[in-house]
Amino acid sequence: MSGPPGSLVVVATPIGNLGDLSERAKEVLKTADVVCCEDTRRTRALLTACSLPSNPRRLRSLHGHNEAERLAGVLALLEAGKTVALVSDAGTPTISDPGGRVVAAAAAAGFSVRAVPGPSAPLSALVVSGLATDRFCFEGFLPRKGPERRRRLAELAAEERTVVVLEAPGRLATLLADLQRACGDRRVAICRELTKVHEEVWRGRLDDAERRFAEDPVRGEVVVVVEGRPPARGVADEVVAATVGARLSAGDTPRSAADATAAALGIPRRRAYAEALAQRDRTEGSANPSGAAPGRR
């Protein structure tokens, strides 16, 4: 590098309460040569509210749609010895937010990459959920629909660790219904508007949550924390049959019913699939008394 090495500083910002911006974060945002941010208007408002320099020339947009094309510019600033602060609209950057490519590129190029830790909606939700915190996984946003969403839901159903999921308020009821179908009736915490005036943490079970939030839509950012699958135990044949039957009645194919049942009950998939095929064949046999061979799917 031709000049003094620059530094990229990943700075966590408040998810609601401005009092959560640390003194160290304020110092970095005050002295950084450039602040890369998702939305320059929101970051300018934050800087102004905290009496920090908010000169528009210091702010550079860096969001999901332009991060790749901004990489070269950020690396050039670091090459010139500049300090670049990276923030998201709220919380810790790169956690389901832009910035991961910039961090990876700066680290690969040998520049200093430092973190100023602070607010995080997923961690805040986890620690107030009342569920196990010793082992957990962060899922982020699920795909909105299709096979990939079903695959990820099946993976979550099989997960023994506490699971943290993000969701937009308008899709919360759909997410809870899908989680209930995939995971069964587990404990859950729905955390909304954390650290803000209308903060709410609802704790209960997925069966109740599905009904509660279908009837009463919410606003604001939502984090869903779901209890992990209990350790596998012996599962009675009647339970397997009932679970498979419910999935088939809901319109699942034998394959998807087996996947969901195996994940929810912690049993081998072949056991669930055998039950699904048996139920399918019995149903087709009763609907085809003439004895003609039923079609295979």
User: What is the domain-level CATH number for residue 191?
Assistant: 3.30.950.10
Residues 184 and 162 reside in one and the same domain = yes
> What is the arithmetic mean of pLDDT over 48-59?
93
> What is the arithmetic mean of pLDDT over 136-141?
96
Query: What's residue 123's pLDDT?
Result: 97
Q: Decide: 160 and 137 in contact? Cβ < 8 Å.
A: no
> What is the arithmetic mean of pLDDT over 112-140?
97
Domain assignment of residue 293, yes or no: no
- CA distances to 38, 68, 71, 114 from 100, rounded to whole Å, are 13, 10, 11, 13
Give residue 103's domain range. Answer: 7-119
Q: Which of 119, 148, 172 is the last residue of a domain?
A: 119
Domain assignment of residue 142, yes or no: yes
Domain assignment of residue 186, yes or no: yes
* Mean predicted lDDT score pLDDT of the chain: 91
Query: What's residue 225's pLDDT?
Result: 98
Higher local confidence (pLDDT), 67 or 295: 67
Q: Which of 11-15, 149-153, 291-295 has the lowest mean pLDDT?
A: 291-295
Confidence bin at 293 (pLDDT 50/70/90): very low
Query: What's residue 284's pLDDT?
Result: 80
pLDDT digits (tens, 9 = 90+) for 216-272: 888 888 999 999 987 766 788 888 999 999 899 988 999 999 988 887 887 888 899
- Cβ-based neighbour number of residue 56 at 10 Å: 9
Is 292 a residue whose pLDDT tops 60?
no
Query: What's residue 221's pLDDT?
Result: 86
Is 290 a residue whose pLDDT tops 70?
no
Query: What's residue 297's pLDDT?
Result: 42
Domain assignment of residue 295, yes or no: no
Domain assignment of residue 292, yes or no: no
- How many domains would you assign to the chain? 3
